[in-house]
Amino acid sequence: MASQIARRADAARNIDRILGSAIHVFALDSGAGMNEVAAHAGVGRATLYRHFASRDDLMAAIRAQAGQEAVAAVESCTLDAGSSLDCIESIVRAVIELGDRYRFLSNWRSDEHREPRERISAALAAAVERGQRRGEISRSVPVDWAVLAIRSLMLAALEQLSDGELSDREAERLVTRIVVQGLSPARRNGGQ
């Protein structure tokens, strides 16, 4: 029994080491192969392939990890502190920073990882609703539409990061600027 637990712990460490190495290797060269990942992780090819039968399986695991990290980062943003726009800015920053780490991933709109997208959308919706109640965000923009717009801007920024067109700071600044300007109450008509 103890040896079985030790093997499971070794397998878990190997998986973590492989995923971390794959993220590092693919960030440097998105076309790198499984051999480079195994070498960087310090594991044999057999160990790598025992955990991930193909590069596609490894990439799916990385996408799942990226989604989990995004949810954790977004849900760690305090929704009740500061203004709602500050909260949205924190969420944008968290997503963009992770996007920079995972810039080698393509197909950010993958349907296989729906839960992270839904949880991030829920956090954004809560911030928008709070902002509308407090008069910080225009009520003329429906919550669902505001969330879709913010998510779409973040996805566009992530694509620009992947293409090397923007730095993470530039992407964050542009998304935040457009969101704040687009959702702020209009000054001429009293904010509604």
So what's the pLDDT on residue 70?
87
Residues 49 and 61 in one domain: no
Residues 45 and 84 in one domain: no
Residues above pLDDT 90, as percent of the chain? 40
Per-residue confidence at 160, pLDDT binned at 50, 70, 90? confident
In the predicted model, what is the mean pLDDT of the chain? 85
| Other residues' Cβ atoms within 10 Å of the Cβ of residue 169 | 12
Residue type, 67: G
149's CB contacts (< 8 A; 6+ apart) are: 141, 179, 182
For residue 25, what is the domain's CATH number? Answer: 1.10.10
| Assigned token pair, 88 | 């949205």
So what's the pLDDT on residue 4?
59
Picking from 36, 53, 70, the residue at the C-terminal end of a domain is 53
- Residue at token pair 């079985």: 4
Count of residues for the chain? 192
Per-residue confidence at 6, pLDDT binned at 50, 70, 90? low
Residues 127 and 179 in one domain: yes
Task: Tell me which of 6-10, 52-56, 98-102 is least confident.
Answer: 6-10
The whole-number average pLDDT for the span 31-56 is: 92
The secondary element (H helix, E strand) that includes residue 168 is helix 168-183
So what's the pLDDT on residue 1?
60
Residues 133 and 42 in one domain: no
Taking alpha carbons only, the member of 87, 78, 185, 188 closest to residue 139 is: 185
pLDDT over threshold 60, residue 166: yes
Torsion of CA 138, 142, 148, 153, to 10 degrees: -20
Residues 25 and 64 in one domain: no
What is 77-109 written as a DSSP string?
S-SSSS-HHHHHHHHHHHHHHHHHHTTT---TT
Residues 86 and 175 in one domain: yes
**Separation between Cα atoms, residue 167 and residue 187, nearest integer Å:** 32
pLDDT tens-digit readout, 79-115: 777 788 888 988 998 888 888 788 788 655 555 667 8
pTM for this prediction: 0.76
So what's the pLDDT on residue 188?
45
Residues 39 and 85 in one domain: no
So what's the pLDDT on residue 2?
59
pLDDT tens-digit readout, 119-152: 889 999 999 999 999 999 999 999 999 999 999 9
CB 27 within 8 A of CB 101: yes
Domain around 7: 1-53
